[in-house]
Structure 1
Amino acid sequence: MYSEQGEQEFLTELEILSEYKHKNIISLLGYCDEEKERISVFEYASNGSLDRHVDNASLTWTERIKIGIDVARGLDFLHVGGSTQASVIHRDIKSANILLTGNWKAKISDFGLSKITAINNEMDFMIDDACGTPGYVDPQYVEQGFFTRKSDIYSLGVVLFEIMCGRTAFLHGQEDLVHLVKRHYEDGKLFELVFRDIKNTIVPESLTAYVNIAYECLHNEREKRPDASMVVIKLREALEFQVDIEVWEAKRPKDYKEIIQLSKTPKIYSDVSNKVLCEMFSKGILLQSGKACLSVNDNGETNETVSATMFSYENNRLHKRISIKKSRFQRVVKIMDISNLKTRIKIRTQFLSPNLIYGAHLVFKFCDPRKFPCNLMYVNLKYQMGNETLHSYFATYGDDEWMMIELCRFIPHKKDVVFEVLLERLSRYYCGSGAIYLEGIHFRVISDAILKVKPEGYEKLKGVERDLKSNSNSNSVQQMSVDYDVITQLEDGEKLFSLSKANGKKWHMLSAKMVLYESSDVKCYNWKALDESESRFQEVAELLSHQVFRIKCKIETQKLSADTDYACYLVFKLSQKCHGLQCPVKVRDVLLRKNKEFKFLYFRSPRAVNLHNIERVPKPREDGLMEVIVWEFNSGNNDHVPMSLKLGCYEGTMSGLMVYGIEFRPL
């Protein structure tokens, strides 16, 4: 029914919400005012009003403080006027007028009773009509008949205690909440009113800060009530106390006190919060000798770096200890000849987290600044661990031009682990002839890993190997070939196709003869005839001593399912005389002339330290051959899909690689 009061409240709300826009004030999306029909459309707050959730046991103390901050922040925006020159007094702040979004963000609503006044006007309005809600309304308004911004603050204080006590201000047959709070506060028993389901989770300092500012809002004298901006500040302090214990205390390492005592400057850590302490730990703490740096990740797990000045060098004339900028240590070691490192490392860690997977990384950078096209650089570090000669092929590019080469992965059973390795050389061909700065060995927790670790005498990495897997998804390495129907031979005897049992999609296969590109003047392959019982094809190609070979063909899409993503598998095996192909192989799509990027693959299963998220690793097939992905594409809707790939190995040749064909399977 139409009324002048309803019309005025409707227009007031439209005026305010059209002018005052803030993340903690409900947004007006639209309205209708036609023939005495008045409709307002607001943003949707899926959790409804706050009064329905004050006794919600799943609403944590941290979330409750954040709701209080949101309300105070929205009220502060209204009181200071935002970008306008006028201030808004809400005049009906209560939990029923606080709306909550799906992620518990609070927004002030219902501005029908609000008034707009000049910002510098302290004496606001003599009120003839009643406003506010019993239990929330400022008692000075009841006595004196006028509202000020501090009257909103009183109502805010009531809402804050509703949030803390888990009940609304006015319940039929029960004592008024404000009277109850004041009586318990004066008796020193306010903690008894805290909502029972959150009582044991609250940090005492957080509750004290919260109660103090909420109680100030209820002060009988308006002048002594805080501004909304001060309420925001104090509630944030309450939140910081809570989060510092609830979140940051759990991220401290268990032996943080011992670590602090061993640091170079233990006094600076004595009076800081857990958050600041964790931030300092995450950046790294130098231990007393200055030869080790310890840092802590977000899970409270320790990483440790040992300075290169602790290593042994056979030729001191080619190894110099110097100071440079942007190093965690006072000195690093400059190595002049990277092809003859002659660096023996035997160090003991101090604070590794037991029973976690660690990677040991060599940290270095080139003395001459370099630009890298991608995050990986081929360096082929040769080194010895125990009686094994090993290779780590890639260095990853990090901050301040420092690079890391992973040497091994292991699981320490205690904090202090002896680590031994002999560094022999980096590839001069790929790294150049310049010098490097060696910073140290960095031991870092690896959350996603498949590794080989030696359980007996693990600290020296001696003993029998065994596979250890983390909880990560390792399907890219472990997954076997999918099962397919029997292959049907076509007329030319060289093209085959079938339907996948998994999803009914077509797959297609081409022989080596149809896909291997050979120039007229260079012999790249030996062709070997095969019986039908030995192979599906008549011939197999064995590569000769070349570093590069090409795959080039046109794929008939009629043999494939339309508009489907496919993987292209190279089907191969290694001959008995093949002793190479340990290193990674680069694959470049020649048709993408402007794109110089390439993919990596392996023809032999690599060590975990050489994976670097490279998913193209060989897998065994049911027919006794091997396969590896060399390309991915979409079949589209054209008659043909051109494919032209260039495969090249970094070291050695492709000699002994026997190519049977290419298989196209849906992803």
Structure 2
Amino acid sequence: MEAFLKEFQHLKIQLEEIKSATRNFDKSNIIGKGGFGKVYQGEASHSMGQSIVAFKRLDRNYGQGDPEFFKEILMLSRYTHENLISLVGFCDDDGEKILVYEHAFHGSLDSHLSSNTLTWRQRLKICLAAAKGLSYLHDPNGTQQRLIHRDIKSSNILLDANWNAKVSDMGLSKIGPANQQHTFLVSNVVGTFGYIDPLYMETSILTKESDVFSFGVVLFEVLCGRLCFQYNNGHLQSLVQMWKKSYKQKKLDQIIFQVLKQHMDPSSLETFSDIAYRCLQKSREERPKMSHVVEKLEIALRFQEICEVVESHVDYEEISMYAIPPVVYGSEQELKMHLSKGIFVNNGKTWFLLNKNGEHCEMISAAECLIPIHSVSPEHADYGPNKSRFVFDYYSPFCWKFKTRVRTQFLSPHVAYTLNLVFDISYGRKDYLGLSYILAGETKSSTSYLAEKREDGWLMAELYQFTSDSRNVDLEITFECRYPLLVEGIEFQPLERAEHHVLEDEDVDMQTDTYWEQKIPNDYEDVIKLARYPVEWTTKKELYYILCQGFPIKNGEEWFSLGKNGKKCYMLPATAALGSGAWTWQSLSESRFKQVAVDPHGSFSINTGTNILSPETTYAIYLVYRIQENHSGSEPPVKVSIGEYQSWYIYLLSPQAPTIKPKAHQNTHNPLHRPKMKGLPQQRDDGWMEVQVWEYKTNITNASISVNLRFTVSNKKSLKGLIMQGIEFKPI
């Protein structure tokens, strides 16, 4: 078992930290319990950063034990999907076995079935997301084996802050062959009363369709607003047969949760109930595949969304009546064309725009929302400001401290928004902001370090993310900055989801890559001579594949590979790239080079180079690293400098805007991941992180790079917890 846990050592969290986070497993921190034991919440550091997490503490009296513990670690490390709960760590100390998951803000689905505020549209989205997670387990991409969950139920479907569903609890799952269309496993019958496939109970033969049956029960629970069983004379009684009978007799109206009826689209209900009923068929052959369930739920959701769009139709003609200057148009299409370019409303103090998705963008000018607290007039600021879109005469002061009182009028309901401050800086660095702000009613302030330059020349800082419930939002935010800011306004921008993704190694498809021979470098023989072990091949095509896979060179101290574009890639270990004085050195089996640098004492430098790269090629230089559990939790950026006058900033932990906490009747969501961009870290498929720190172009005669960079924590905090594997040169 030690060998098993060694593979997942990077996920290990110390018991003392868990005790501290849960106040020694205080009952006030309990957020649930199940077959594994009690679940606690608390804030902890883990392999992906620091956040609120859920600690599932094994209690063998609840029915599960060590096999389920180790299986959960294995399954959730191998099978990753946005609709599966993420395992961020575990603890196996002093007889305690604890699984650490991402925190599900809204708990499990079973606790919301009878909620009067969970709309039919939200329920459809939850069911669809859970179906996608289960479909992935049944037919994972790549070479992963199929997995049968065996305990699908509403209490094992968790809901994050955005009500996005995530399938959880893999402890009872079974693995089946990946290359068989139908997987039949003889298994001891396990599961939960009311959800277990009757055919599985009769025959002990487990198939993917057993999960499909259980999921059909969950669909009916969502429709009926109640659990699938009830107590009758001290005994549990299943409601599934009664639900099936009501559907067959076209009496759904008698079982549907009453609160939902008023706003249900009939086509949506028909599509949903039909696929739910088919999941509950006695015969396995008559039950749909989960991929088909996903398709039907997508259709049901689309019917409902179309219905709601029609109900909440926006009168754009009315909006245009308040435009300054007036909008002149001859048709609805021409009006929308004007709106897609943007118009001024509210006496010119608000900017309204209709984006390509039909969602509303709104920006409130400083003239409308700014309340200066500590400021200086424009004539005393050493600065020539950008021209504001708000062309009406108004000169905002430069403010160190100020408030904004923002009232929107036109937001699109049920849309994820980012709330941005649009501004410029009178003096000082424009790429390191240090802006602190706090929402009225909150007790903890947030800090924005990242200032992004917009196409219009203004700077922008993302403040919050939230999901709108209506067109109107009323917010008061207080700001304080190290430099005086010139504020143009507060912007509400619909945010396209840039999902978290893992950077995968570049696999070569020899069947489709018709230009492979041209990509073999002319000096490949010289490169192969550097290989640590003999490189053998029988054909040029096989050689190309070997080059793309990569191999260690120079006694294993460096790594060479070939990118898809035929350009050379090169990686140096920490021992060759970093000054030894600032680091502690450790052996680490997960490292490609076996030795890593740990915990730099404050700042550190990279002083190295190579002449093995491709000529006339722009290369990005990356730090390849990991943040361990005892990291300082430092979100502020790291300053990268060349010489005395040239510097910029990178992040070792990706910054995320906080969410505006919901009221009791409102929705919210997890902060959306930022898209890939320079200076922000990305997760690699080998378990390490990487962040681009520099770019350099080799010339036609000299394919060499010399790197001399200095890294300093901007706010003088420690870099404790940083594990450096090396630096990598990859063509852009």
- Pairwise TM-score range, normalised by the shorter structure: 0.3 to 0.5
TM superposition score normalised by structure 1? 0.44
- CA radius of gyration, larger in: 1
- Work out which structure has the larger RCO, using CA pairs closer than 8 Å and 6 or more positions apart in sequence: 2
TM superposition score normalised by structure 2? 0.40
